[in-house]
Each structure stands twice: as C-alpha cells, then as structure tokens.
Amino acid sequence: MQFYKNYREAAEAEKKRNIQLKTQKLQKTGIREVEKTIRNKLGLLQPSEIAVIIPPPSPSPTPAITPQIPVYKQWWNVFFRVD
C-alpha cells in the first residue's frame, strides 16, 4: 500500500510540474516576451523609435599628491638652483 501511495504522490507532483512548465512555455512564447527579448538581447528598435546611448560615467581624476617641501628648502632651491 505504501508503494501505491508514494507512486500517486510522485505522479501528482509531476502533474503540477508539467502544468508549471507549460505555463512558462506559454509566457516565453507570448508576443510581448518575444518583443522584450528582441529589444534587450538584439538591440533592435521599431521604426519610429530612437536609441539613446548614455556612456558610463568616467572616474574623476585624483590630483597627484606632491610631497610638501618646507619653505626654507624652497627658498634654498630658488637661490642655489638645486633641483
């Protein structure tokens, strides 16, 4: 009797799975889903549409950090031409 019960439960689960898969198939083949796939994956447009492509933002350059030279050394370098 246990075998029959397990078999029946498995059959019911497979019927539910079959219904889910059929529903998914209908959703995937619907006209709106096909159009969505064409637009997103292939990048195609309808004749009356215009594509607007926005470039990704470029990172802002970071200023180079120069070592701070003490003022007396800056003056020393100016008068004695030390680079």
Structure token pair of residue 54: 């926005």
Taking 90 as the threshold, does the pLDDT of residue 74 lie above it? no
In a domain, 8, yes or no: yes
In a domain, 51, yes or no: no
Q: Domain span at residue 5?
A: 1-46
In a domain, 25, yes or no: yes
In a domain, 36, yes or no: yes
Residue 14 in contact with residue 7, Cβ under 8 Å? no
Dihedral over Cα of 31, 35, 38, 41: its sign: negative
In a domain, 57, yes or no: no
Model confidence pLDDT, tens digit, residues 4-56: 889 999 999 999 999 999 988 887 788 888 888 888 888 888 888 888 889 99
How many domains is the chain partitioned into structurally? 1
In a domain, 38, yes or no: yes
pTM listed for this prediction: 0.39
In a domain, 77, yes or no: no
Mean pLDDT of all residues in 57-61: 85
